[in-house]
Amino acid sequence: MSSATVLGDALEPVSADEHGAVTAFTADPADPVLAGHYPGFPVQPGVYLLEAADRTVRLWAGGGPLDLVAMNRCRFHRPVLPGDRITTTVVVTDAGPELDVRAKAVSDTGPVADIRLRYRKDKDKEQAA
């Protein structure tokens, strides 16, 4: 994973099994990005939700080699406000050389995003590890 992350250490593993994983984070009211996104109505940028989904998949994979090859869907339902607790659930379907992922992000007030991702399992990296 790249060392550049927007969530930093905020993502907390909750659970995982053979079908997927769950993580959670709290939208930090002190995050300086909120001052400009948007002035007078701070909303956490959607990239935080995308990163949470991606990192949850990688957590599920146990750090195994995966290449994100497509985001087939990303629908935001409502804004994430400072202090909101976000839980991200990913369901992973093995589709041969690829993984299809359905991710849902929810807050205490309801769904905030539905995301579909596709990953390529990199067998060359897997064999070298």
| Helices and strands: H and E segment counts in the chain | 2, 6
In this prediction, residue 125 carries a pLDDT of 55
Joined tokens for residue 26: 């709290």
In this prediction, residue 1 carries a pLDDT of 42
More confident residue, 1 or 113: 113
Q: Is 67 exposed, middle or buried (0-12, 13-18, 19+ CB in 10 A)?
A: exposed
State how far the alpha carbon of 125 is from the alpha carbons of 56, 63, 64, 116, in Å. 20, 11, 9, 24
Over pLDDT 90: what percentage of the chain? 75
In this prediction, residue 30 carries a pLDDT of 93
Tens digit of pLDDT for each residue in 77-126?
999 999 999 999 999 999 899 999 999 999 999 999 999 999 999 766 55
What distance in Å separates the CA atoms of residue 102 and residue 99, rounded to the nearest whole number?
10
Tell the residue number behind the tokens 């993580």, with chain if given: 23
pLDDT at 18 over 60: yes
- Global pTM reads 0.90
Joined tokens for residue 104: 């849902």
Of all helices (H) and strands (E), which one includes residue 52? helix 47-60
